[in-house]
Amino acid sequence: MAKTLYVGETLTNEMIIAGKQLIQQIEKIIPITASFWLYTSESENWHLCITSPIVSKEGTRKIYDKIINIIKNDKKHEYTLPADCIFAIDDNDEYISSLRMIRLSNTIFDQRLTSAGVPGGRYIEDAYIYNLYPKTNDESSSSQSKI
């Protein structure tokens, strides 16, 4: 049985590995357009953010149910993450759109961003980006950022 990691103020190698393993499992059943760890001083915690176009179609509850099912059934990894540190985000979220504007190439993989300003007056204290793909459709949404 996998040990649940403590997720707090410090991003650890174990969190990065466990996050990557979880994302790889999620990608088998949910299309992911961005995945990253994000630190905010308000919560003094890291959050694993998973962005998918199906969040707006199926709702966050159904996505969380699928993620929790993956976590509960994971028998092969040493560590797992607590469900309360995982955020499912709509692909049209304002924050994700801002992140896409600062990407350094067509896609970003396994890159740390620290103290970075993003368009729209947002600021990233610290983030570890697993992947950040360009948006695949041009649907617009008035969704508010949940981060």
Amino acid 137: pLDDT = 53
Amino acid 26: pLDDT = 95
Rg (CA), the chain: 15
Q: Where are the beta strands (DSSP E) in 1-147?
A: 3-4, 34-40, 45-52, 79-80, 86-90, 108-118, 122-132
CA angle 118, 108, 113 (to 5 degrees): 45
pLDDT in tens for each of the 147 residues of the chain?
678 889 989 999 999 999 999 999 999 999 999 999 999 888 889 999 999 999 999 999 999 999 999 988 888 888 889 999 999 999 888 878 877 776 555 555 667 666 666 656 676 778 899 988 877 654 433 333 344
